[in-house]
Copies of this chain bind each other. A is one copy, B any other.
Amino acid sequence: MNTFGTLFTLTSFGESHGPAIGGVIDGVPADFALNLDAVQTELDRRRPGQSALTTGRREADRVEFLSGLFEGRTTGTPIGFIIRNADQHSSDYEQLRTAYRPGHADYTYSAKYGLRDHRGGGRSSARETACRVVGGAVARQVLASLGITVRAYTSQVGPVVLAKNFEELDLSLTESNAVRCPEGSTAQRMIAEIKAAKAEGDTVGGVVTCVVAGCPVGLGEPVAGKLQARLAAAMLSINAAKGFDYGMGFEGAAKRGSEVIDNFEMNTQGRVVTTANHSGGIQGGISNGMPIYFRVAFKPVATLLRPVSTIDSKGNSVELKMKGRHDPCVVPRAVPVVEAMAAMTILDALLISKATV
């Protein structure tokens, strides 16, 4: 239950305050020249302490590869890797040994397993997503070699919504600001919103939009393996994610069919395209060659720097004042995680689509 994927798989392990987190990436195509520095660069994008918007935790987050590579190339055997944990202030969490934080997994883990590693959220910590970024960075390089790109960006922070859709944006600007919104003025308003929340000891939610371009026709398997179903599962597995939609998404629920029709035509290169793309690049669960785009909603995380009332493991009411260092908005750091999950999902679907005679 810690393995993502069918043929391209990531099995991850590790708690926030244990010796290390890590994983096993299996199903990597063989004889591929993997750029390890590019993997580390992706990991750095997710790292805490990048800007004033993120947690003060500073972790080097150096990935160490242990297998699956020979003289710079993948061998088709599993790639094992670890990331040592560091900068642990475990004592910050002593109060959580017994108290359950509202909106966190403390209670459910304790009830399910009979015990939990209370330090920093243990296995339920978002730190676990670092392993996904490693897996995703590997998948992404393979996809890039085939002309498939995966790019996500922040499209909403609290009430600040980026009004343009992805076709109206220059996604190369995403990394130009701390909030990872490709439009500068909206980015500034988002940053202000996050700073305001932080100043009040509060947190704020948001939305990440992701675009997969260059995808061939034919990825995804009906009925139980529809591409959107796999993407949805991948996205909802990310910490703090509360929703997923693709193409016209929830907005389509309010529409008439005549408003959202995607007519087919041949483009000038003789390729089948649709005149609009309300379908979001997927029809009947199978990619149609148009850009795939989707949104992932993130809640404002419950780690308030204010006292909250809760109970402890004996059922006593307690007041909890969290000390840990946390992001006031998880969305900017969720951007590379969304990309990673998308990249792994798409590569997995691509491999499955090749499995024919």
Binding-face segment, A49-57, A169-177, A218-226: A218-226
Q: Is A80 located at the chain interface by the 8 A CB criterion?
A: yes
Could you tell me the dominant secondary structure of chain A's interface residues? mixed
Given contact pairs A257-B303, A304-B258, A272 touches B107 in the complex (Cβ within 8 A): yes
CB-CB contacts below 8 Å: A191-210 with B: 197, 200, 202-207
Tell whether, in the assembled complex, residue A242 and residue B250 are in contact, meaning their CB atoms are under 8 Å apart.
yes
- Identical copies in the complex: 4
In angstroms, Cα B234 to Cα A295, docked, is: 18
Tell whether, in the assembled complex, residue A80 and residue B357 are in contact, meaning their CB atoms are under 8 Å apart.
no
Q: Is A163 located at the chain interface by the 8 A CB criterion?
A: no
Q: Is A62 located at the chain interface by the 8 A CB criterion?
A: no
Tell whether, in the assembled complex, residue B309 and residue A80 are in contact, meaning their CB atoms are under 8 Å apart.
no
Tell whether, in the assembled complex, residue A100 and residue B264 are in contact, meaning their CB atoms are under 8 Å apart.
yes
The interface bits of chain A over 154-191 (1 if a CB of B lies within 8 angstroms of the residue's CB, else 0) are 00101100000000000000000000000000000000
Given contact pairs A253-B156, A256-B158, A24 touches B29 in the complex (Cβ within 8 A): no
Pick the contact of A12: B31, B78, B274, B285 (CB < 8 A): B78
Contacts of A309 in B (CB 8 A): 263, 265
Could you list some 7 contacts between A and B, CB below 8 A? Answer: A2-B78, A15-B77, A31-B114, A77-B122, A104-B283, A242-B248, A258-B304
